[in-house]
Structure 1
Amino acid sequence: MFNFFEERDHKILSFKDTIQSKIFEPISDLEVEAYTSKEPLSYPERTTGDRVALQPGEKWGDLFDCAWFHFTGSVPSEGCAKKIVLLIDVNGEACVFDDEGNPVRGLTNGSSIYERIHGEPAKKVLQFNDCGKEGQKVDIWVDAGCNDLIGELSKDGTLEQAQIAVCHENIRSLYYDYWILCELSCVLDKNSARYSRIMKVLFDSMNILQTFNDEEIDKARQILAVEVNRKNADPCLTLSAAGNAHIDLAWLWPIRETIRKAARTFSTVLELMDRYPDYVFGSSQPQLYLWVKEAYPKLYDRIKAKVAEKRWELHGGMWVESDVNMPNGESLIRQFLYGKRFWQSEFGMDTEMLWLPDTFGYSAALPQIMKICGVRYFMTQKLAWNSVNKFPHYTFDWEGIDGSTVLTHILPEETYISHAGPRAISKVEDNYAQKNVSDRALLLYGIGDGGGGPGAEHLERLERLKNLQGVPPVKQEFSEEFFKKIDRDDLDYPRWRGELYLEKHQGTYTSQAKNKKYNRFLEVKLRDLELLASIASLYGFEYPQQKIDEIWKEVLLYQFHDVLPGSSIKRVHDESLQRYEIMIDEVEGLTQGLLQDISGNIGASGTENPVMVFNSLSWERDEWVKLGQDWANVNASAMGWKIEEFGKKIPEFAEFKATQLLLENDALKVEFSQDGSIKSVWDKFNEFEAIRKGEKANVLKLYTDNGDAWDIQTEYRCLPVEYFKLENSKAYKDGPCVVLEQNYVYNKSRILQKIILTQGSSRMDFETTVDWHEKHKMLRSEFPVDILAEQATCDIQFGSIKRPTHKNTSWDEAKFEICAHKYVDISQNERGVALLNDCKYGYRVFDNIIDINLLRSPDFPGKDADQGRHTFVYSLYPHKGDHIEGGVIRASYELNMPLTVKSLPDKKQDLASSLSFLTVDNENIVIETVKKAQDSNDIIVRLYEATGSNCRTVLSSDMPVKDAWLVDGLENDLQKIDVQASGIVLDVKPWEIKNIKLNLTKV
C-alpha cells in the first residue's frame, strides 16, 4: 500500500545526492600521457617508462603495474575568478608530486571495492586555485599504482577521469549541512520532536532548491542552520575522535606498494591539516615512518613538524602492528624496544599505548610485556569479530598471567574506519557497555586497511558534530589524551583475566607454514647468536650490533599481522621467504664466525678427537649428538661450552628393538599397526600406557578445508575424512637411536616420516618431510592420550595457560582451534603426555585428544599456499606428574634449541675448556635472552619464572660480575642489585619476567 509519508521521507533523504552532484562543474578536459612500468620508478626516472597517450576509458595497466601520469591543460574562461579543482581518477591509487619530486597529495579511485558501509574511498579532488585565472596552466605529475585501496584491479586498469572543474563552495557547505541532518534523522525516534523538526527543515530547504542559484542556496542554509546549530545541554557521554589510516604493511598488495601508500596517505593528511585547523591525526608503526624517511625525506620532515605541533600523534609502541599469538616473548619485547627507541630518537617522544586494532587475538603474556616496556594502555576492536560469544566489555582492566594489568579500550563502534557521521556516533553510544562507568569513548575515523585516511568529508561532518543535539558531542583529540581522561582511580572498570581469544581466524595458526618455520628458526638462531656474541665480546671479539639490529627489525616486520599469520597474497609470502633465507644465511655466518674465533683459542690438551659442544640453554644437558657419521654422549655446560671427545665406539643397547611394528629403547615401547599408526606407547620409566586403549595415534588425516587463509570452517570434522596411505616402511638402528622410517602417499602428495627413539630419552620424535600438492585440504595428526583432565596446558610467551578439553560452555566450544608454542600438555596428578613441536602453532585439545594441525592449503588470498616441500618435527613426550614435574618445559626448549657441535682445530691456546657463562640454581627459572645492551657494553639477561610459582634463585656466572642492575624491558635502570660471592639473589614471582644488566670483567 502506498504510504505518502514514507515516500516523502525517502525523497527528502535522497535529495542529498542531488545536492552533491552540483558541487563540481567540469569545464575542461586535461590532456593525459603516462609512462608505464612494472615496478615503481623514482621522480627523476619518471619518463623512462613506456609512454602512452590516454583518453578516459583507455587501459594503461594490469594489477600492480605502475605509471607516472602527466596531466596538462589550462583554465578556460568559465573558471575565471572561481575556485578551481582538478578531478582525477586513474582507477588506481596515486600521489601528486611537486616540481622537486616530493609527495603533496594522495588520490584514490572511486571504483574501489572498498566496503561502502565505512564511507566512500574516493579521493579524486585536487585543490588547484581559490581564484582561477583564464589561461592558467595545469602541469602536474602523478605517481600511480594500478590497484585500488585493497589490492584489486579496478575497471581493467583504465583511465576514469581527468578534468578541470569549478568547485561551488556554497553548495559544498550546503551538502554537508543537509547530509548531517539526514544522517541524524536515521538515529532519532521518529516520534520525537527533534526528528519532526529536522524533517521539516530538510523538506523546506529541498523545496527552495530549484535552480541552485546563490540566493536559493543561502536561504536553504539559513533554514538548515536552525537544526544544525541546535546544541546538547549537559551530555553524559563525550566521544574523543582521532583521525587514522590503518595501513597494512603487506596484505593484498606487496610491501613495495605499502611504501607508496604511506606517501599518498600522509601527504593527504598534511594537505587537509592546512585546511582544517581542528584536525588531529595519528599513525602507528615506526617501520612505516622509516620507509617514508628513506624514500620521501621532505615529506618526513613535514610529518615531524606536525608531530612537534601536536597535530600528529605517534600511535603504539611496537615496530609494526604485530601478530601477538605466534611471535615468541623476546620478539614482542623487541617490537617495543626498537619501536619506542625509534619514536624517541626521531621525535623525542614516547607513547604509553599499544595500538593493535586488527590483530587476531591477544596473548595472556602481553600485559606484563607491555608494563615492563612502559606501556599502560591498549586499544583494539578485533574482539568485536567474535563468531560465537559477544565480548562483554569495551573499557576494562586486562590482567595477564602474572597479575599485570593494563587499561584496555575496545572501540564501541567496532571499527577503526568510522565514517564519522551521526549513525557512527549513535552506534558508539548504543554499544558502549561501560557508559554507566565512563563518560568518554574513542572513535577512530578515516579510510583504512589500504590506507588513504580521512577525507574532507570526515572533517566537514565532525565540524558539525562538535555538539549537535541528538547524539553525544565529539571532540577531536589525541588517543592518548582520551586514555588519560578515563584512567581514573574513582572509575570501577570490570576486569578480564587471561588471554583475549578471538573466536575467528584460527586458520592463521597454520596457514603459510614455511613463514612460521622460518620465523621460529630465526628467533632461535638470533637467540644463540646474541648469547655467543655476548660471551665472545668479553674475550675481545666484536659484537655485531648493527647487523643483529638490522636482522631483528626485518624479522619483526614479517611478524606483521597479515604476514606471519599467512593471510597475505602469494607475492608477499614469496618475497618474505626469499628474505628469510638470506637472513638465516647471515645469522649462521655470524654464528659460525664467532664459533671459529672462540674454538680456535680453546685449550683441549689430553683429549682425542676434541669437539666444542655449545649449549644456549640455562641448564646442563646430557645428550647424544651426531657429527658426520659419528655419535657421542656429551655433557654440555649451561649457557656455554664444554670440550668433549668424539669417535668412541657406541655400546650395544640391550633394550633396543626396531621392527616395522615395534620400536623400543630403555624409556619407551611403541607398537604400530599395519597401517603405520601407533596403537601403544608404554612408558617404561613411569609404567603407564600413554595411548587410550583401542584407539590409534599419529593417523595422518586429511580433512576437507574450504576456508580461506584466515578461517577454518567449524564443521570440517563433520565431513568425510581421508588418510595418507602407508606405502612402505623400514626399521633400523642408528647409533643410540632406533628408527622406523615410513613412506606415505595420498593423491599427488607424499610424506616421509622418521619415528625416532633415542637411548635415555622419553621423547619420541616424528621427523617429517612432506611433499605437499593438495588444495583445500588440511593435514592433522592426533594423539588420543590415556589421561583424564579438564584442561590442557599450552605454552605461550614467558609462561603457559590452561585451556579446556571440554565444551561445557559456548566460550569453551568456540576454542575449537587454539594457539600454542613449543608444547601442549595434558596431565593427571601422577602422569601426563605432552606433544612438542619445532614450528607449529595450531592445536585442538577436546576430549583429551591432542590434535596438531600440520598443514593446510587455502587458495585465498595467497594462491597455491604451501605447495611444495616442508620439513618439521613434532614429538610425543610421556612423563610422570604434571608438566612441571615431568620436565615438559625443558624438553620443549631442548627440541627447539639443539646443541651445537664444532670440531676443534689443531691450534690449542688458553681459553677455558668449559664455561658456564650464566646459570640459575632453580629449575623453575628459564634464562630466555642474553644480549649486549643497546647503549653500552654491559650484558642484558632476561629470565622468567616458568611454572606459576614464587621462588628464589641465584644467578651466577663463571665470569666475574662487577655490578648489576634491575632494568626494564627497554633497558632503563630501575635499581642496583647486590652482587654476592655466590652470585645475584633474585626473588621471582609467578610468571615474572626479570631484566638484569650486568657489568662483567673482560677476560
Structure 2
Amino acid sequence: MTVDGSVLSREKETGPMNDRLEKIYVVFKTHFDIGFTGLASDVVHKYKTEMLKEVIAICDKTKDNDPNEKYVWTMSAWPLLQSLQGSDESDKASALKFLEDGQLIWHMLPYTTHTEFCGLEEWIRGMYVSRSLSEKFGYRPKDAKMTDVPGHTWIVPSLLKKAGVEILHLGCNGFSTPPDVPPVFFWEGPDGERLLTFYSKGAYGTGILPPEEWTHPVWLALIHTSDNHGPHEATVIEEMKASIAESGLQAELHIGSLSDFAVDFLSRNPDLPVIRGDLADAWIHGVGTAPREVSRVRELRSRIAAAESALALGMLSGETSDIGGATGLTQQIKSKIDESYEYTLLFGEHTWGMDCKSFLFPRTYDKKSFLKDKSSERYLKMEHSWQEQINYLNKAETSLDAAVGMLTGRVNVTPSKDKKTYRIYNYLGWQRDAFVLLEDIESLGSDEVFIDCANGEQLIWSFTNSGIIVEVKQLPALGYKTIACINQVELQAAYKGSAVEVAATSVDTHATELKGYVNHQESVLENSFVRVKLDNRTGWITSLYDKKLQKEWVEETSEFGFGQYEYNIYSSEEITRYIKKYAYRFYDWGVHDFGKTEYPEQQKRLSFTTELSEIRLIEESDFVRLVCSASSDTSSVSEYGNANETVWSITLMEDSPNIDLEWRFTGKEETPMAESGHLLFPLKLDNPSYRINKLGSVIDPCTDIVRSSNTLLHCCENFVDVSDGNVGMAIIPLDTPLFSIGRNGMWDFEPDYKPEKPEINFNLFNNWWGTNFPQWVGGSLSYRYRLIPHKGDWAEGSVWKQAQETMTPVSGILVGEEHSQSAIADLLPNGLDGMAVTSFKPAEDGDGYILRLREWIGQSREVTVHIALQASEVLKTDLLEYKIKENVCSLIESGADNVNQFRFQTQPFEIHTFRIR
C-alpha cells in the first residue's frame, strides 16, 4: 500500500530504448484503498470532495490539448460511483461533462480484492457497479486493474473475459515478492479463457519509457500516484513528452485507457507466453485477523443467494408484480439484496483498517503496557477503523433482513390461529433433503404436527435453543416446498387419515449401529459407516475407521493428535527470517508493514496445547456426540492471548458417514504478540493427491500454483480433499477458509513448496500483519468442520455437491395459509448434472430472469438442462447480462416429461449466464 511516487523513474534504470517503439499509451490512476491512509469514511469523503475537484481541475486545464494529449483519469468503478452520488451539484455537473468527453473514465472492477476469499457471485456482482455506470453514461470499459495485492486466483481471467474485458493490469507493491510471471502474458483460466495480462513487479504501474528488454512496438505507461492521492499536476504531460524526446525515441504519445493499449497491442498478434495457473495471494493470511466476521460472511453468502432466488421464484409464480416498476415492492426487495451483495464484497476489499506505522506507532508488546495503551486515542482510533470493516457485515445483514421481511410481507401473511405455513426454498441445482430452522416457533401443542402440504405427510421435527428444526425431504432443484404446522384434527379432515397412516407406516425400523461409550481408557462413537475412538487423556481422535471403505484415516505416527488445537507465539527470529525470505526489495515501510517494529527479542516459538478436564457422551435417537472440555496453560492466557477454555465435540449422525466437529473457545485474551491458533488433522494415506476448491474452480497445489505465489497458505471456497484415487477424505471448514498442507505456514514464505505429508493444518486466527489489518483478537470464537470420507477422488465422491449442501442451509419464509395450495415449485425438474446454480435472479433490465450456472467437476462436455414449461426462450448472455454474438439462442425443445430443455457446451469450471423468458 506504498509506492515510490516518481512518475518518470523507470527510464533512469534503462539503457538504449527500443528503436522500433512506435507508440506509448499512458494511463493515469491512483491506488484506491478504502481506508489505510485514514478512516474508510474519511477516504470515501475525500474522493467525493477534494479529489473530485482536483480531477475536474486537471481535466479542465488540458481539455484543449491535442485529442491524444488530454489528461484522462481512470478510476475504479466503486469510488467513481460514490463520488458521483455524494458530490455537490456543481462538481457533479463538471464531472458529468468530463465523463461525456472521455477524460474521466473507469475500469471494470470496483476495487482491489483478496479475490480467493470472496464469494463467486458477490465478486461477479462487483462488476455490476461498472455495468450500472455504463447504463447511465454509455461508456463500457474493456479493461480491469488491481493493485498492491501480489496475486489472485485463476478464475479471474475467466470471469473478466466473460464480462467483456480484454486486458488486466496487476501492480504489486515494491516490497512483496510477486509471482514468477513475465511482464506481459496471456493468463489462462481453468476454462481455457485467455486474458492479456500486464504485471508490474515492484511498482503499482510503470514508467513512461519501457525497460531495455521490451521488444514490442507499443508500450503501456501506467502512471500512478500513491495511495488515495489525487491526480498529477497538468505539467506532467509536457514532462513526459520531454522525457520521450530526450531518449531519442520517435514514439507517439497517446493518453487514454488500458483498453486503448490492448486494442493496438493485440492487433499486432503478439507472441506471448501463456501462464495457466493460480497466482495465489501471498497476503491471504489477513483473512485470519477477523475470525468471527469471516464466519459471518461465509454464512451470509448462501442466505443472500437464497433470498434472491426466492424473489425470482415468487415472481414466476405470479405472487409479485413485474419488477420493472421503479417504486414496486419487488424493486425494493431487489435493491436490498443488491446492497447486501455490495457490503459482503466490501468486506473482501483488501484494506481492513488504517496504516499502523502511521497511526499506531510507537507500539508496546508486554501485556501490561498493551492493556494500558488500548485506552489511548491512537489505539481507539485504530480499533474504530477495524470496526468500519465489521460494519460492512452489519449493513449486509440489515439489508438482507429487510429483503426477507419484505419477501414475507409480499404474500400477505395472515397466519390463522391453528396453522402456520412456510415456503422452504432450495436454490441449489439438485433435489436435496435438508433440515430447516424455524425461529419464530417457540413451542407446539401436543396435538400439533408439521406436514408436507403437497401430500399431507407428517414431518420429523425437534426443539433446539434457537427454535424448531424440521426435516424436509426431496426439496426440488431450484424450487420450494410448502410445509405447515397444523392441528391433528384439521389434518385428519383434510387428508382423511390416509397421509397420516402412510407416514406412520413409513418409519424406518431397521436396526442401527448408532452408539457410543466412555470408559477409563478411551471413548468411542459408532454408526453403520464409521467408528471414532478418542484418547481419554487428550480428547484427540486416535482412530477414525471407515467400515465401508475399510480404511483407517488417522496417522498414528504423527507428532500431532488428530483434532489437536495448538496455540503459537512466534519469535523475533521467525519474523526476521520471514521478511528476508519474502522481500522483493527492501524498503523501510515494508519492514514496518511485514514485521512488527520493536517486537521483543525472542529466539524460539512458544507452543501450547490443551489439558483435558472432562469427556461427556450425549446419545439421541438420531445422533451420538462426545463433548470434550479442556483448559489452557495459565501463562499462555495471562501473558499472551490464548483462550481460557476450549470445548470441542465430535458428532455422528444415524444415517451419514460424515463426521461433524466443532470447537468453541471462550475467554481468549487480546495480545499484540505474533500469535496464531491451529487445528491439525494428520491423515493416513500413501501417495496422496491434493485438491483445493478455490473460488470457482478446483486446483492441484502441486502443479497449478505459479512459482513465487503463496504455496504455503491456502484459502478455500468450500473444501480441501486428499485422495489416492481409490479413497479420499474431504474437509469442509464452515467458518474459516485458511489452511496449510504438511506444515504450519505462518510467518513463512517458500517460492515452490510442495506438501510434505497429508497433514491439514487449519488456521483459526492470526495477527500476522503489522500493517493495517486487526492486530489483536479476543473473546469467544467457534469453528465447525465436516469430514467426508469417500470412494475415488473428489469428483467421483461428489465432494463438491456435499460441500455446497453443507455450506448452504435451506431457509424458510412464513407465508399466508392460502399459499399452501401452491405446495411445490420446481424450476429444474431433473436437476443439473455436474453443474450448480450460482444465481437465479430477476434480470437487471426487467426482461425475464437470469440463471447463472457453474461447471463443477472439471470436464469439457455437452450439458442438457431440463427446465419448467414456464420457460419459452433461453438466451445465452455474457456475465453482465448483455447479448453475445455466438450462441445467441440456445435450442429449446419440448421434452418427453412435460418439460423444456436446452443444451450447451461447457469447458471445465466454466461460468454460464442465461436469460430466461
Q: Report the TM range for the smaller structure's normalisation.
A: 0.7 to 0.9
In structure 2, the partner of 1:534 is 312
| Paired residue secondary structure (2:269) | coil
Asked if the contact 1:324–1:359 (Cα under 8 Å) also holds between the matched residues in 2, the reply is no
Q: CA deviation at 1:598?
A: 6.1
| Paired residue secondary structure (1:261) | helix
Amino acid paired to 2:661: F
Amino acid paired to 2:782: T
Q: 1:650 to 1:658 in 2, by over 3 A?
A: farther
Are 1:628 and 2:463 matched, yes or no?
yes
Structure 2 unpaired stretches of 5+: 321-328, 360-381, 437-460, 486-502, 576-590, 597-601, 638-642, 742-754
- Identify which of 811, 833, 847 aligns with 2:707: 811
| Paired residue secondary structure (1:381) | strand
Higher relative contact order (CA 8 A, sep 6+): 2
Distance 1:528 1:282 in 2: 39
Q: CA deviation at 1:735?
A: 4.1
Amino acid paired to 2:304: L
In structure 1, the partner of 2:529 is 667
Are 1:984 and 2:901 matched, yes or no?
yes
Q: 1:371 to 1:854 in 2, by over 3 A?
A: same
Q: CA deviation at 1:559?
A: 2.5
TM-score (norm 2): 0.75
Q: Deviations over 1:117-156 (max 9, x none)?
A: 4349xxxxxxxxxxxxxxxxxxxxxxxxxxxxxxxxxxxx
In structure 1, the partner of 2:425 is 614
In structure 2, the partner of 1:378 is 168
| Paired residue secondary structure (2:339) | helix
| Paired residue secondary structure (1:251) | coil
Q: CA deviation at 1:944?
A: 1.7
In structure 2, the partner of 1:657 is 516
Are 1:561 and 2:478 matched, yes or no?
no
Asked if the contact 1:658–1:733 (Cα under 8 Å) also holds between the matched residues in 2, the reply is no
Are 1:843 and 2:629 matched, yes or no?
no
In structure 2, the partner of 1:168 is none
Bigger shift: residues 469-478 or 392-401: 469-478
1:421-500 alignment runs, 5 A limit: 424=207, 428-430=210-212, 435-436=214-215, 438-455=216-233, 458-459=236-237, 461-469=239-247, 475-478=253-256, 479-488=258-267, 490-500=269-279
Q: 1:376 to 1:633 in 2, by over 3 A?
A: same
In structure 1, the partner of 2:369 is none
Q: CA deviation at 1:583?
A: 2.7
Asked if the contact 1:558–1:564 (Cα under 8 Å) also holds between the matched residues in 2, the reply is no
Q: Give aligned pairs, total.
A: 761
| Paired residue secondary structure (2:664) | strand
Asked if the contact 2:431–2:831 (Cα under 8 Å) also holds between the matched residues in 1, the reply is no
Q: 1:116 to 1:401 in 2, by over 3 A?
A: closer
1:506-517 alignment runs, 5 A limit: 506-517=284-295
Q: Deviations over 1:537-582 (max 9, x none)?
A: 1232353222222332233333222239999953233123234224
Q: CA deviation at 1:322?
A: 2.8
Distance 2:84 2:818 in 1: 50
In structure 1, the partner of 2:554 is 691
1:652-801 alignment runs, 5 A limit: 653-659=512-518, 661-673=523-535, 674-695=537-558, 696-705=561-570, 719-746=605-632, 747-748=636-637, 749=643, 750-771=645-666, 772-775=668-671, 776-789=674-687, 791-801=689-699
Bigger shift: residues 624-633 or 942-951: 624-633
Are 1:260 and 2:45 matched, yes or no?
yes
Asked if the contact 1:511–1:566 (Cα under 8 Å) also holds between the matched residues in 2, the reply is no
Q: CA deviation at 1:995?
A: 1.1
Distance 1:188 1:966 in 2: 48
1:187-266 alignment runs, 5 A limit: 234-236=19-21, 239-262=24-47, 263-266=49-52
- Identify which of 632, 639, 642 aligns with 2:481: 642
Q: Deviations over 1:585-606 (max 9, x none)?
A: 4313433553576696999x9x
Q: CA deviation at 1:275?
A: 4.2
Asked if the contact 1:671–1:679 (Cα under 8 Å) also holds between the matched residues in 2, the reply is yes
Q: CA deviation at 1:717?
A: 13
TM-score (norm 1): 0.69
Amino acid paired to 1:249: I
Distance 2:273 2:706 in 1: 21
Q: Deviations over 1:266-292 (max 9, x none)?
A: 322333344454352323222212222
Amino acid paired to 1:691: V
Asked if the contact 2:570–2:606 (Cα under 8 Å) also holds between the matched residues in 1, the reply is no
1:888-907 alignment runs, 5 A limit: 888-901=799-812, 907=817
In structure 2, the partner of 1:161 is none
Q: CA deviation at 1:461?
A: 2.8
Q: 1:820 to 1:247 in 2, by over 3 A?
A: same
- Identify which of 385, 389, 399 aligns with 1:576: 389
Amino acid paired to 2:120: G
Are 1:938 and 2:848 matched, yes or no?
yes
Asked if the contact 1:365–1:797 (Cα under 8 Å) also holds between the matched residues in 2, the reply is yes
- Identify which of 182, 189, 195 aligns with 1:393: 182
Distance 2:109 2:610 in 1: 43
| Paired residue secondary structure (1:465) | helix
Distance 1:918 1:507 in 2: 39
Amino acid paired to 1:788: D
| Paired residue secondary structure (1:501) | coil
In structure 2, the partner of 1:361 is 151
Bigger shift: residues 632-641 or 484-493: 632-641
| Paired residue secondary structure (2:893) | coil
In structure 1, the partner of 2:640 is none
- Identify which of 103, 107, 110 aligns with 1:311: 103
1:961-980 alignment runs, 5 A limit: 961-974=871-884, 975-980=888-893
In structure 1, the partner of 2:131 is 340
Q: 1:582 to 1:488 in 2, by over 3 A?
A: closer
| Paired residue secondary structure (2:894) | coil
Distance 1:410 1:613 in 2: 47
Asked if the contact 1:340–1:351 (Cα under 8 Å) also holds between the matched residues in 2, the reply is no
1:142-181 alignment runs, 5 A limit: none
Asked if the contact 1:425–1:471 (Cα under 8 Å) also holds between the matched residues in 2, the reply is no
Amino acid paired to 1:930: F
Q: CA deviation at 1:928?
A: 1.7
Amino acid paired to 2:610: F
Asked if the contact 1:240–1:477 (Cα under 8 Å) also holds between the matched residues in 2, the reply is yes
Distance 2:232 2:161 in 1: 32
Q: 1:254 to 1:532 in 2, by over 3 A?
A: same
Amino acid paired to 1:553: E
Asked if the contact 2:150–2:171 (Cα under 8 Å) also holds between the matched residues in 1, the reply is no
Q: 1:188 to 1:910 in 2, by over 3 A?
A: closer
Q: 1:947 to 1:655 in 2, by over 3 A?
A: same
Q: State, as a whole percentage, how many aligned pairs show the same letter.
A: 16
Q: CA deviation at 1:470?
A: 6.1
Asked if the contact 1:570–1:862 (Cα under 8 Å) also holds between the matched residues in 2, the reply is no
Higher gyration radius (CA)? 1
Asked if the contact 1:602–1:908 (Cα under 8 Å) also holds between the matched residues in 2, the reply is no
Q: What's the Cα RMSD here?
A: 3.7
Q: CA deviation at 1:402?
A: 0.4
Distance 2:354 2:653 in 1: 34
Q: CA deviation at 1:532?
A: 0.7
In structure 1, the partner of 2:440 is none
Amino acid paired to 2:892: V
Q: 1:969 to 1:863 in 2, by over 3 A?
A: closer
Bigger shift: residues 931-940 or 248-257: 248-257
Distance 2:613 2:843 in 1: 54
Asked if the contact 1:352–1:480 (Cα under 8 Å) also holds between the matched residues in 2, the reply is yes
Q: CA deviation at 1:755?
A: 2.2
Distance 1:457 1:446 in 2: 15
Structure 1 unpaired stretches of 5+: 1-113, 121-179, 195-231, 419-423
Amino acid paired to 2:516: K
Distance 1:798 1:188 in 2: 40
Q: CA deviation at 1:294?
A: 2.8
Distance 2:866 2:609 in 1: 52
Asked if the contact 1:362–1:500 (Cα under 8 Å) also holds between the matched residues in 2, the reply is yes
